[in-house]
Amino acid sequence: GNSVTQMEGPVTLSEEAFLTINCTYTATGYPSLFWYVQYPGEGLQLLLKATKADDKGSNKGFEATYRKETTSFHLEKGSVQVSDSAVYFCALYNFNKFYFGSGTKLNVKP
Amino acid sequence: DAGVIQSPRHEVTEMGQEVTLRCKPISGHDYLFWYRQTMMRGLELLIYFNNNVPIDDSGMPEDRFSAKMPNASFSTLKIQPSEPRDSAVYFCASTRDRGPSGNTIYFGEGSWLTVV
């Protein structure tokens, strides 16, 4: 079947620290992979995506590489800001359905 | 584009009342999804439509929940009768089938439901 597993939060970092949020997936075929971000009181917004193996998605300083050999799509950012505090969801799209992870809450302290 | 539009944004209702949530997908999108988000269960897919036809409603929790899509620009999620455990944020989302190039799903801002 298809599923996404991401690290549990909350993750608390100081401003300018390095961020990694782990995401692994199980899927048949060739899914597309996504990271979505949810700010307090808002809906989910696309952060970045990758549609095939070895693709790197990037946006706003965040990046993630589609690793088929390890079935992973880890989210990274070199220097987080307080404004990055949000919940981050890893997701995959396969056979007309989206599958979301449980979300990882990130708190960035000044 | 206006994005996915949901209403109401917030609703507080009494147990036993009927609740109707509304959604207008992005124009040209042929897939529409209803999700429910709670602290305990995270983001759950309730039902999705393709070209206005329900394709998979296996996530609908009970017969109290029903969803319709009478045309390409409008969908409703109805709860009758409502119960306190239905309190959650309900998201509508839409996408367009792009085949192998991959899709992006666009979410509305959610309807925050509280049943007291």
- The reported pLDDT for the residue numbered B102 is 60
Strand ranges (DSSP E) for chain A?
3-6, 11-14, 19-21, 23-26, 32-38, 44-50, 56-59, 62-65, 75-77, 86-94, 97-100, 104-109
Contact B105 A97 (CB under 8 A): no
- Distance between CA atoms of B109 and A69, rounded to whole angstroms? 36
Q: Which residues of B touch A34 (CB under 8 A)?
A: 104-105
Contact B105 A103 (CB under 8 A): no
User: What would the mean pLDDT of B84-112 be, rounded to a whole number?
Assistant: 86
Taking an 8 Å cut-off on Cβ atoms, the answer to whether B101 and A102 are in contact is no
Best mutation target, B36, B43, B104, B109, to test chain A (most A CBs within 10 A): B43
Q: What pLDDT is attached to residue B99?
A: 59
Q: What average pLDDT score do residues B2-15 get?
A: 95
At B39, is the pLDDT very low, low, confident or very high (cuts 50, 70, 90)? confident
Q: Which residues have CB under 8 Å from A66's CB, separation 6+?
A: A33, A50, A51, A52, A53, A54, A55, A56, A57, A73
Angle at A23 between CA B95 and CA A9, to 5 degrees: 105
Task: Give the ranges where chain A is alpha helix by DSSP (H).
Answer: none
Cβ-Cβ contacts under 8 Å, B50 against chain A:
96
pLDDT at B44 over 70: yes
Asked if A105 and A11 count as a contact pair (C-beta separation under 8 A), the reply is: yes
Q: Is pLDDT at B100 greater than 80 in this prediction?
A: no
Least CB–CB distance from A49: residue in B45, B91, B102:
B102
Name residue A45's beta-bridge partners. A37
Do residue A98 and residue B33 have CB atoms under 8 angstroms apart? yes
Residue A86's φ and ψ, nearest 5 degrees, are -175, 180
B48 touches chain A (CB under 8 A): yes
pLDDT (average), residues B78-88 = 96
3-state secondary structure of A81: coil
CA distances from B58 to A13, B36, B97 (A): 39, 13, 21
**Is the CB of residue A89 less than 8 Å away from at least one CB of chain B?**
yes
Each residue's pLDDT tens digit, A24-75: 999 988 899 999 999 988 889 999 999 999 999 999 999 999 999 999 999 9
Write out the two tokens for A71: 């079935």
Q: What is the spatial distance between Cα A20 and Cα A13, in angstroms, rounded to a whole number? A: 11
